[in-house]
Structure 1
């Protein structure tokens, strides 16, 4: 009865069945249904397990892919950082190059401006040759081909040599006599009742070998030429200063005005720059000076400054002049000089014809001047 009641609970339809056979059949049918349901559940569980396994595999694959993507992202991020650093370095390098180029460009502009100014100055100096005052020259001689570069010229030496007191300089006509006197070195000279010993020394002179002069157009001066002699120099300077100090004549305040004695031309110096440049743009000026009836056609030229930038000096030994030292002051200057000249003119004393003599007594000093002897070779100095 208890079994039936339990079955009845599980199978509510049993209450409608009266016989046991029918009940048993119903129960068996329910058992079969339960088995079928259980099998279906087992099959669903297996399907779910399989699906779970597949999902877990998919999850693992996705996790692996996610990790790989994250790693790739990290690698890409690192690579991007490296590229950014490299790009930054390249950018800094390019910026440095640009700065250097801008600096070079600035330097080139400055150099270009300097070259333009230098060219302008050179052009001005080039024009000077066409605007310098005329001067008549006459040439007497012969023309020879010369390999020396243009712009060089020869200077005639004029040497000033200081000598101390108790010394004499004697120039002989014959170079061989001078050499013989030097070889003897010490000379004993009889003067009245006295005998003096003096020493012969070679005369070493500092001679100018080369001089380099840099010229340039003065920005404050002009050179006025073609000036006729119509009045005195002082009156002319006053009239020119008055004329060129007026702005309506293209001038300005005059600082100084002077006449060049060798040429008669006039140099006018203005206080400010620019006036001389404007005036020299026109070569000839019609100048109306007060007190002079005629209108003068004066030539206005740039004034050239010269600056010595290089001097080369070499030491030369005079071939015919000798320095004598140790001469005591024992008698009158002229008498002692005459005795020296007489002594060195005698061939018995190793001397010869004396060309010039200069004696300086003790406690005095003098300057002896030397120049090239035109009758001798160019190397020989008096």
Structure 2
């Protein structure tokens, strides 16, 4: 037993010796005991340090778990936020698509409105064109119902198959002349050119002289005239009328005839005789009567005291309106205007001196065809007609 008890301390000493390498250096048991106690204290301190480390580790672990939980919460929140953002973006995209679609719809509605407006305008234009076409057709028909004229051959023929359309108009130009001026027309065009080229002319008047200036006469002349015609809705033109002794009797009879509804007429406003042609214009108060009367064209009117006469011809009355006038400037080739004539003597004497001066070839003049002087303080209107002798 003792050997067993003695063997256990020996084993402990060996373990201590292993763990406490400084124990072998001890000389006695007291030193060993002190070393062992010191080692125990060291081990306690080490154990306590380990416990503190463990506690720190647990604390760090707990903090790490808390941080991990917070991070997980943040991750979940971030994921939720990302999902919400995606949903919001998707919603914005949908809203944008809706707004774009609504805008396109509104644009389409505007286009449709414009198209409908264009369609209405086109319908109105078509109606206007249709009315214009109908009116033109009426005017075309007028040519078949206008009063007849008698025509005869004048001996002229067109050459090379090129007909020339001429407007039979003899213009008369009215030109204002101020006081202190004179207008002279020479027989020879060359004389007028010479006078105009000289410009200033000195006129000897006894003991004195005057200077006057010659300038061309620039006359405004009608070049083109555009007339728009249309059928009058409340007038008719009556032609092929017999000659009656009394004009009043003719007008009264026509007014009486065309005022009766059984004759296709209506209330007559007035009846006017055209002296140059002998035709009569009948004006009605209401529209539509004239059109109905012209459809029949010929009307048999009974004039008392006159035997049976041919039917009267009823034609549409055409109104004409000037819509465009083009005026050009022409220069009188044989005439000249003289200005700056001082009123220094009797009008007749001054007139004679001027005419005599411009008749002399030495002064550049020649034979005078027409002469007119307007003294100061007065004015006149000179009338110019086409020069038939020089007309091309």
Alignment CA distance shift 1:329-1:361 (3 Å): farther
Match of 1:238 among 252, 255, 267: 252
Alignment CA distance shift 1:256-1:361 (3 Å): farther
- SS for the counterpart of 2:176 is strand
Match of 1:131 among 129, 139, 145: 145
CA-CA distance at 1:279 after TM superposition: 1.1
- SS for the counterpart of 1:319 is coil
- SS for the counterpart of 1:134 is coil
Whether the 8 Å contact between 1:201 and 1:322 is mirrored in structure 2 is: yes
Q: Is 1:143 the equivalent of 2:158? A: yes
Aligned to 1:263: 277
Match of 1:331 among 313, 322, 346: 346
- SS for the counterpart of 2:174 is strand
CA-CA distance at 1:89 after TM superposition: 4.9
Q: Is 1:316 the equivalent of 2:330? A: yes
Alignment of 1:1-382 (within 5 A): 88-89=102-103, 91-140=105-154, 141-144=156-159, 145-146=161-162, 153=167, 155-191=169-205, 195-289=209-303, 292-327=306-341, 328=343, 330-333=345-348, 335-378=349-392
Q: How many residues align?
A: 306
Aligned to 2:33: none
CA distance in 1, matches of 2:99, 2:381: 81
- SS for the counterpart of 1:330 is coil
Whether the 8 Å contact between 2:271 and 2:283 is mirrored in structure 1 is: yes
CA distance in 2, matches of 1:307, 1:242: 31
Whether the 8 Å contact between 1:224 and 1:298 is mirrored in structure 2 is: yes
Whether the 8 Å contact between 2:203 and 2:211 is mirrored in structure 1 is: yes
CA-CA distance at 1:84 after TM superposition: 6.0
CA distance in 2, matches of 1:257, 1:341: 54
Task: Provide the TM-score with structure 2 as the length reference.
Answer: 0.69
CA distance in 2, matches of 1:86, 1:192: 100
Whether the 8 Å contact between 1:209 and 1:313 is mirrored in structure 2 is: yes
Larger radius of gyration: 2
Offset from partner CA, 1:310-369 (integer Å, 9 cap, x none): 111112221110011233262244x54343322211111211111111222333222111
Task: Provide the TM-score with structure 1 as the length reference.
Answer: 0.71
CA distance in 2, matches of 1:201, 1:272: 58
CA distance in 2, matches of 1:228, 1:191: 66
Whether the 8 Å contact between 1:206 and 1:315 is mirrored in structure 2 is: yes
CA-CA distance at 1:291 after TM superposition: 5.3
- SS for the counterpart of 1:281 is helix
- SS for the counterpart of 1:352 is coil
CA-CA distance at 1:250 after TM superposition: 1.6
CA-CA distance at 1:247 after TM superposition: 2.1
Aligned to 1:40: none
Alignment CA distance shift 1:310-1:329 (3 Å): farther
CA distance in 2, matches of 1:237, 1:265: 11
CA-CA distance at 1:246 after TM superposition: 2.1
Q: Where do 5+ consecutive residues of structure 2 fail to align?
A: 1-79
Whether the 8 Å contact between 2:242 and 2:309 is mirrored in structure 1 is: no
Alignment CA distance shift 1:222-1:103 (3 Å): same
Whether the 8 Å contact between 1:227 and 1:265 is mirrored in structure 2 is: yes
RMSD across aligned positions (CA):
3.0
CA-CA distance at 1:139 after TM superposition: 4.2
Whether the 8 Å contact between 2:199 and 2:215 is mirrored in structure 1 is: yes
Whether the 8 Å contact between 1:329 and 1:362 is mirrored in structure 2 is: no
CA-CA distance at 1:242 after TM superposition: 1.8
CA distance in 2, matches of 1:364, 1:329: 15
Q: Where do 5+ consecutive residues of structure 1 fail to align?
A: 1-66
